[in-house]
Amino acid sequence: MTTTSKNKYASIAEEVLKGVGGKDNVRSLAHCATRLRFVLVDPAKADKAAVESTGGVITVVEAGGQFQVVIGNTVAKVYEEALAQGVETGGAGSGSGSSGNLLARTIDLVTSIFTPFLWVLAAVGLLKAFLTVAVKISPDFGTTSTYAIWFSAADAAFQFLPILLAVTAAKRFKANQFTSMAIAAALVYSATIAVMPGPDGTSVTLQAFGQGGGELTFLGIPVVMVSYLSAVIPTILAVYFQSHVERLAERVTPEVVRNFATPLITLAVVVPVTFLAIGPASTWIGDGLASGVDWLWGVAPWAAGGVFAGLWQVLVLFGVHWAFVPIIVQQLANTGHTEMTAALFAPVLAQAAATFAVFLRTRDRDLKLVAGPAAISAFLAGITEPAIYGVTLRLKRPFVFACVGGAVGGAIAASGGSAAEGFVFPAAITLTATLGIGNFTLQLIGCAVAMVVAFALTMIVGFKDLPAAAGATTTPDVAEAVVAEDVVATLQTPVAGKVVPLDEVPDQVFASGAMGSGLAVIPSEGKVYAPLSGTLLSVMPHAFGIRSDTGVEVLVHIGLNTVELKGRGFTPAVTQGQRVNAGDLLTDVDLQVITDAGYNPITVLIVTDPGSHTAVVPTATGDVQPRNAALELIG
């Protein structure tokens, strides 16, 4: 890495840490494929807007008890810089993950344990997928030593997953990592090394001996032997138990022998207890979860796949998708394949297709610069956060279209019994992981349908470009510098009253400018008029949408949360589809009814789509009458 890139990521980390209230406000920090996941001491100290405005940050999500900063593919580099600046990663001893509900703590635990080696799992899964394709093309290749060596590289990390888990779980629970690895090694040893006499005189593994009917005991206590290859929950719980035994051993052993006595006591206690109780109980729990998923897919695969695929991007949106990782891994351990991953190719590729449609359709050059790389990242690598936060969610409709396409495609793929034979990130280049199980043709059709639906809906139904596509809101001070020749359209005030800036409206959706630029009026009279000539796109008692002949779209919204009045106090004078001229009466409003019901009658005028214009300039100030100049459209 160059010095320049180091400074870049260090700068991002520094600004993010300032935004979350400083490193002393960080209880713990972990990262997943695209996000920094903070658990904060005092969430109120975090400045979400400041973090979101940091260069290199896509967006911020507050969910599951975490302050999640979406960075993208370079998140690991920013994470390392944050650690270099003194942030603690947290652990059991520091109370990491102790805040929030059970789901929040579970997600925090899963991300902190799985994330460090997630890309290794993805890599071996992809290698296994490539080997599957090679054997399909040339069956004899599967009998060669070359295949065997490559397959060892692809399969070993997953079979001996407990050892990888032991390292990260030990870091999480503040346990000795080498002792944790020794415990995990003992678990997989039981299934790999022959140490017990078999029925024919040959040696067999502990697992084979116990599962073959042999009497397996520890100090006379019967041991229920289960397989610990690829074991997730038993390993995590064993290391958690180790962390407590270890601390107790350190307290009771003399300092002169502590260095070797502590791991000795820990191994002597934790390994047998894991074989006797922790392992069997947690294995049954994991098997139960995996079997439940298998049952759902067996009863109605199309419904299970459709619902799971349709909701997946919503789960990603809130960062709770990590809760499914242990179940997917458990499925792979039990059967060697997972239907859940196979269903997820459709929503991921649908998100890529919707983003590509935005790239083709938008007139916003800045949005194009984001949409192009985001679509490629989602399509090839399965990383959808840049597409979601940078493009589709900001435009709303494309995100919904991608979810719809994903649901349809996921249902089709699942109906063919498709499953992935490895842990992979669903993407175009990993589709071969689903080649060996189920109907691969239906898997491809499902993915294709998902992409076509998302792409077609985005292109045909369309979306409203971001207000930024027409330039940022210009303040009245800036408006004074705009020459008359630049003003091509003027919108009128819709109601008499006192003008207030849009950012002072006590509603975050309006005040943030997310819906567009404009202004607000505290009304003194109850008659509301059309601010421009055009066609009424929508008519509700409290809100009117109008599109001009030049494509400008505006919203006149009367009161905050007044939809709850269900029309009481409003007497509309127009209907949807009707053409109106600037200054025509839209509705009569009984302001007393609104205020008596406890609602704010402030009326908002917003340009939701400025068409081809380059700026929206508020010009009205102070007290106004209906039909006064309110907003000017420039360029």
Examine the pLDDT at 605 and tell me if it is beyond 60.
yes
Question: pLDDT class for 194, splitting at 50, 70, 90?
Answer: low
- 178 C-beta neighbours (distance < 10 Å), count: 12
Among residues 17, 20, 29, 32, which one is catalytic?
32
- Is the pTM higher than 0.75? The answer reads no
Question: How confident is the model over 213-230, as a mean pLDDT?
Answer: 81
Higher local confidence (pLDDT), 202 or 525 = 525
Tokens 């993805």 — which residue?
122
With vertex at residue 26, the alpha carbon angle to CA 23 and CA 28, rounded to the nearest 5 degrees, is 125
Question: How confident is the model over 512-534, as a mean pLDDT?
Answer: 88
- 439 C-beta neighbours (distance < 10 Å), count: 16
pLDDT at 429: 84
Distance of alpha carbon 416 from alpha carbon 427, whole angstroms = 19
124: CB partners within 8 A, 6+ apart: 153, 154, 155, 156, 157, 158, 422, 423
The rounded mean pLDDT for the chain is: 82
pLDDT at 449: 96
Chain segment 549-586, per-residue pLDDT in tens = 778 889 999 998 888 888 899 999 999 889 888 888 99
Chain segment 254-313, per-residue pLDDT in tens = 888 888 899 999 999 999 999 899 988 887 887 777 777 778 888 888 998 999 899 888
pLDDT at 337: 85
Whole-number Cα distances in Å, 159 to 163, 164, 232: 9, 10, 11
Whole-number Cα distances in Å, 175 to 29, 118, 228: 18, 21, 21
pLDDT at 469: 38
Question: How confident is the model over 589-610, as a mean pLDDT?
Answer: 89
Examine the pLDDT at 625 and tell me if it is beyond 70.
yes
Chain segment 333-374, per-residue pLDDT in tens = 777 888 888 999 999 999 999 999 999 988 877 778 778 888
447 is catalytic: no
Examine the pLDDT at 96 and tell me if it is beyond 60.
no
**Domains observed in the chain:** 3-96 (3.30.1360.60), 160-290 (no CATH), 300-463 (no CATH), 470-634 (2.70.70.10)
Residue 578, class by beta-carbon neighbours within 10 Å (0-12 exposed, 13-18 middle, 19+ buried)? Answer: exposed
pLDDT at 522: 94
DSSP element (H, E) containing 344: helix 339-361
